Amino acid sequence: MINKKRLVNTFKDLVKIDSISRDEKKVADYIIKKLKKLKLKYKIDNSNKKTGSNTGNIIVYKNYNSKQGVYLLSSHMDTVVPGINIKPITKKKYITSAGNTILGADDKSGLAIIIELLETLVEKKIPHLNIEVAITTCEEIGLLGAKFLDYKLLKSKSGIVLDSTSPDRLVIKGPSSDYFSIEVNGIEAHSGINPEKGISSIKVAAEIINKINIGRLSKGTTLNIGKIDGGSAINIVPGKTTILSEIRSHDESKIKKILDKIKKDILKIEHKYKKTNKKFSIKFKKNRIYDSINISKNEQVVKRILKASKKINYLTSTVETGGGADANFFVKNGIKTVNLGTGMREFHTINEKLILDEFFTSAEIIYNFFTDV
Q: What is the DSSP string of 172-193?
A: EEE-EEEEEEEEEE-B--BTTT
Alpha carbon distance 102, 351 (integer Å): 7
pLDDT at 69: 85
pLDDT at 1: 81
Residue spans per domain, the chain: 4-175+292-371, 176-290
Which of 45, 107, 139, 352 is flagged as catalytic? Answer: 139
Query: Interior CA angle at 58 toward 45 and 359, to 5°?
Result: 155
Q: Where are the beta strands (DSSP E) in 138-254?
A: 158-162, 169-174, 176-185, 215-218, 221-230, 240-249
User: What would the pLDDT profile of 54-113 be if each residue is shown by its tens digit?
Assistant: 999 999 999 987 677 899 999 999 999 999 999 999 999 999 999 999 999 999 999 999
Q: How many CB atoms lie within 10 A of CB 296?
A: 12
Which of 23, 24, 45, 78 is flagged as catalytic? Answer: 78
Is 207 labeled as catalytic in the residue annotation?
no
Is 139 labeled as catalytic in the residue annotation?
yes
Across 11-30, average pLDDT = 98
Domain 176-290 has CATH 3.30.230.10: no
pLDDT at 64: 87
pLDDT at 124: 95
State in words which class domain 4-175+292-371 has: alpha beta
Q: Do domains 4-175+292-371 and 176-290 have the same CATH topology?
A: no
User: What would the pLDDT profile of 172-222 be if each residue is shown by its tens digit?
Assistant: 999 999 999 999 999 999 999 999 999 999 999 999 999 999 999 999 999
pLDDT at 286: 97
Signed CA dihedral, 21, 86, 170, 44: sign only: positive
